[in-house]
Amino acid sequence: MRKHWIDNLRWATVLLVLLYHVVYFYNNKGVFGGVGGFGDGPQYQDVLMYILYPWFMPMLFLLAGIGSRYSLEKGSAGQWFKSRTRKLLVPGTIGLFVFQWMVGYFNVRVGGTDVLAQVPQPIKYFVWSVNGIGPLWFIQLLWVLGIILLIIRAIDGKDKFYNLCGKANIVVVVLLGVLFWLGEQTLIMNPRLESLDGLYNLYKPFFYIFPFLMGYFVFSHDEVQEKVTKYWIPLMVAAVVSGFALIITTFGQDNTTPQYMGSWLNCLYGWLMCLAMIGWFKAKFDCTGKFAGYMTKSSFGLYIVHYLVIASVGSYMYFNMRGQLPPFAMYLILTLAVFTISPLLYEILQRIPFVRWCVFGEKKSK
């Protein structure tokens, strides 16, 4: 029986990613990737980054781990890996040269100026494609974690460790947050400029492997899900309190630095929010409907295409209309654009056979 709460939590988190990127794009906290803010004063709308960033990507990895367990119970490991390669690796490699190069085009226009103006066109295209990875780092890493999971499954061939994890009580589940904190400690705390340190800290492989494997080994058990659901209200209260303390004490800092992410308060809030959201959605949103059904099948595609809308519309307004439009209007326009153009773009692309395979890893139109 399909667990609709997992589908709903996944697409709801993806929608939060879209909203996060609207605010992130115009942040003035020094977070890498944005075009800049509107002055040096406090931008209180940036608080959304502090609310979402500690937990929403770990949540997606955790849900991917749960989904991996369910999928592997239905078919062979070979079939699963083949499907994952098409769904993840194809969009994360070939898709860069078919679609994401357009994201890269805007990414390299530093300050609204084409820094590659004197570079031959074929080299430009290659640079744009490589720089167009954007949010696709998520699916690239997810594919790598799939390989690691298959190795671990081979070692735990009789599911002894998996069955042991199913016995975890709520205290053990909460204490798994220590692994969340340990994962953040694997970041390079003082990344060197002109090195791959920043790229490593973006992918955070030795951090995200923890929520992914916890999803597979722990949270895929019905018994564990029920225990978390039973305590979802106190978990949510604790998450809100820790999140409030985090924001009050750190607002104004770059919330993506290794030191910030590795702080105990950031990790506590991030882990409690993951647990609270799981319990809340299991308790209240284990249902479906037309909209939920559509979002379940399309959220992956929206994740793939949305950043082109952010980069193009957001850049145009910032470099050509800043001063003519108030910041509120720019945020509003970009929000409306990403939530309307992204679905339209997805619907168009997924109806074009070859493009559909390259960009979304899908054989047939949904």
In tens, the pLDDT along 240-295 reads 999 999 999 999 999 999 999 999 999 999 999 999 999 999 999 999 999 999 99
pLDDT confidence tier of residue 326, bands split at 50, 70 and 90: very high
Q: What is the mean pLDDT of residues 77-96?
A: 97
The pair of three-digit structure tokens given for residue 55, joined into one six-digit string = 């937990």
SS3 content of the chain, % helix, strand, coil (to 5): 75, 0, 25
Distances (CA, A) of 10 to 21, 49, 88, 97, 273: 17, 19, 16, 27, 14
- Is 366 a member of any domain? no
Over range 138-146, report the average pLDDT: 98
pLDDT tens for 203-251 read 999 999 999 999 999 999 999 999 999 999 999 999 999 999 999 999 9
Whole-number pLDDT of residue 258:
96
How long, in residues, is the chain? 366
28 in Cβ contact with 36 (< 8 Å): yes
Alpha-carbon span 65 to 71, nearest angstrom:
10
pLDDT of residue 112: 66
Residue 9 domain flag: yes
Q: What is the pLDDT of residue 40?
A: 82
Question: Does 110 score more than 70 pLDDT?
Answer: no
- Per-residue pLDDT band at 194 (split at 50, 70, 90): confident
In a domain, 365, yes or no: no
CB 272 within 8 A of CB 280: no
Helix (H) or strand (E) holding 350: none
pTM for this predicted structure: 0.96
Residue 49 in contact with residue 58, Cβ under 8 Å?
A: no
Helix (H) or strand (E) run with residue 263 in it: none
In a domain, 15, yes or no: yes
Tens-digit pLDDT profile for residues 65-83: 999 999 999 989 999 999 9
pLDDT band, residue 2 (cuts 50/70/90): confident
- φ/ψ of 286, rounded to 5, equals -90, 60
pLDDT band at 10 (very low <50, low <70, confident <90, very high): very high
| Gap between the terminal Cα atoms of the chain | 21
Segment 153-176 mean pLDDT? 96
Tally of domains within the chain: 1
pLDDT at 93 exceeding the cut of 80:
yes
pLDDT value at position 39? Answer: 85
Look at 8-22, 99-113, 176-190, 280-294 and tell me which has the smallest mean pLDDT: 99-113
Whether 95 is covered by a domain: the verdict is yes
Residue-averaged pLDDT of the chain: 95
Residue 365's pLDDT is 78
pLDDT digits (tens, 9 = 90+) for 296-305: 999 999 999 9
Can you give the pLDDT at residue 363? 86
Q: Percentage of the chain with pLDDT > 90?
A: 89
Q: Kindly provide the b/e burial profile for residues 264-292, where b requires at least 16 CB atoms within 10 angstroms of the residue's own CB.
A: ebbbbbbbbbbbbbbbbbbeebbeeeeee
For residue 135, the model assigns a pLDDT of 93
Q: Which two tokens stand for residue 120?
A: 């031959």
Place of tokens 């594919």: 143
From residue 314, give the alpha-carbon distance in Å to each of 17, 136, 138, 190: 16, 19, 22, 30
Full domain range(s) for residue 170: 4-188+197-360
Low-confidence winner among 102-111, 149-158, 263-272 (lowest mean pLDDT): 102-111
Q: Which residue in 334, 361, 297 sits closest to 99, CA to CA?
A: 361
Residue 114 pLDDT > 80: no
Task: Inform me whether the pLDDT recorded for 119 exceeds 80.
Answer: yes
